[in-house]
């Protein structure tokens, strides 16, 4: 979601101007906009031509609607907002009922009193740091860029430049100090950017045409544990593991267009995909062992997982991306509420890609929804066992 102006502040009435860029942005707006809110938008309306001309024409009309209803069809990727017109024009009368259709890349202005839930949901989709799947650090001597990559976009979130003395003019000691200063600035930029997110991206790729990538990784691993506390979402140990598991790649340049090299090379693409799914596969293997041991701390299926959530018993929730983006809006809403509830109670949530057979594909065979519990809860799986799915 691109934010043009404004900020969503909990318990305050504020106005924000946005452009939905991805389908989840429309879903977020569908959940945020409610009866009584005010929306401002530009649409077209079919009107009769002047008396001297025959037929009709479409003209641009500025709308200000008091919202009375919101509908969303994920298949159409169109959000329909109905309400009462609050500003009179020659094309739409004051108080007239009107429906506005919002599609991707259209501008919308919203005025509302923000609840904590709505403000949090809006913040999560307003910055790629919250939904990035891969972090790419492109680094060359004295210059680095941190790029966050999601399904359909990539954004440069940090640029670092630091002068490095030439070998011919300065001693090795001064050059070494300059490199350490550069790597320290780069590490701080990476950490300070990623700590803003609700979780770390699935993997870090370090691309470099020279030795800078390998040297930075070595420096970061020796330094990251001495940094101040990161955030409530990410510990220093998790950040060190994140850097330790990073992929080092040789690129032709340290600039952003090197991303194309990273994700078009067949071997690299496969390597990145496997690394991104490694955590998910480990969880699936843990599930398999728990099923074999008849461990009552594992539940799967919607009724069992929802029952565990009602007891605030979930330690780790696993859900497929298909369920999180279900075209059944009620099911989709239930999954999102479950996600938020587990996070609120201090649990962890992993959304697995069903296209990856080793993780999301296997979870899908168990209804697409499972949870590892904080403590055994006998009886939750009784209803699910009657329709047990296969899990190979």
pTM of the model: 0.63
Strands (E) located in the chain: 2-5, 13-19, 38-48, 56-73, 78-85, 97-103, 108-113, 134-140, 143-149, 154-161, 203-208, 247-250, 298-300, 314-320, 348-352, 369-373
CA–CA dist 104, 22 (Å, integer): 7
Distances (CA, A) of 286 to 63, 108, 297, 367: 54, 45, 11, 17
With b meaning 16 or more CB within 10 Å and e meaning fewer, what string describes 51-75?
Answer: eeeeeeeeeebebbbebeebebebe
More confident residue, 127 or 213: 213
Give the class (CATH, top level) of 2-126: mainly beta
Could you give the percent of the chain with pLDDT greater than 70?
90
- The topology under which CATH files domain 129-264 is Nucleotidyltransferase; domain 5 (3.30.420)
Fold exhibited by the domain 277-385: 60s Ribosomal Protein L30; Chain: A; (3.30.1330)
Q: Is the pLDDT of residue 390 over 60?
A: no
pLDDT, tens digit, for every residue of 254-269? 888 888 788 777 767 6
Span 35-47, pLDDT tens digits: 899 999 988 777 7
* Distant-in-sequence, close-in-space partners of 292: CB < 8 Å, separation ≥ 6: none
170: pLDDT strictly greater than 80: no
The domain ranges of the chain are 2-126, 129-264, 277-385
């Amino acid at each position: 979601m691109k934010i043009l102006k404004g900020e969503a502040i909990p318990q305050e009435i504020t106005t924000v101007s946005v452009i939905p860029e991805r389908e989840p942005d429309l879903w977020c707006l569908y959940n945020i906009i409610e009866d009584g809110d005010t929306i401002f938008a530009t649409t077209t309306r079919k009107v009769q031509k002047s008396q001297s001309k025959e037929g009709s024409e479409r003209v641009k009309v500025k709308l200000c609607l008091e919202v009375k209803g919101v509908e969303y069809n994920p298949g159409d990727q169109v959000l329909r907002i109905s309400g009462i017109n609050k500003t009179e024009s020659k094309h739409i009368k004051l108080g007239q009922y009107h429906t506005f259709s919002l599609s991707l890349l259209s501008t919308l202005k919203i005025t509302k009193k923000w609840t904590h839930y709505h403000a949090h949901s809006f913040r999560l989709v307003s910055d790629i740091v919250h939904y990035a799947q891969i972090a790419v650090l492109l680094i060359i001597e004295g210059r680095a860029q941190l790029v966050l990559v999601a399904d359909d976009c990539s954004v440069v979130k940090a640029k670092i430049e630091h002068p490095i003395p030439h070998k011919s003019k300065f001693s090795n000691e001064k050059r070494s100090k300059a490199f350490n200063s550069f790597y320290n600035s780069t590490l701080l930029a990476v950490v300070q950017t990623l700590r803003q997110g609700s979780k770390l991206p699935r993997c870090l790729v370090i691309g470099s045409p020279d030795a800078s990538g390998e040297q930075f990784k070595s420096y970061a691993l020796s330094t990251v544990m001495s940094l101040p506390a990161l955030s409530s979402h990410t510990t220093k140990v998790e950040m060190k593991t994140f850097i330790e598991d990073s992929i080092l790649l040789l690129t032709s340049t340290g600039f952003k267009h090197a991303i194309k090299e990273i994700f078009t090379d067949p071997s690299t693409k496969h390597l990145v995909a496997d690394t991104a799914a490694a955590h998910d596969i480990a969880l699936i293997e843990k599930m398999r062992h728990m099923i074999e041991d008849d461990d009552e701390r594992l539940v799967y299926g919607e009724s069992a997982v929802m029952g565990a959530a009602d007891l605030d018993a979930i330690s780790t929730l696993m859900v497929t991306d298909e369920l999180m983006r279900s075209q059944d809006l009620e099911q989709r809403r239930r999954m999102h509420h479950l996600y938020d509830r587990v996070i609120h109670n201090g649990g962890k949530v992993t959304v697995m890609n069903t296209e990856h057979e080793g993780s999301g594909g296997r979870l899908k065979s168990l209804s697409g929804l499972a949870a590892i519990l904080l403590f055994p809860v006998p009886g939750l799986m009784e209803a699910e066992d009657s329709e047990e799915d296969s899990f190979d």
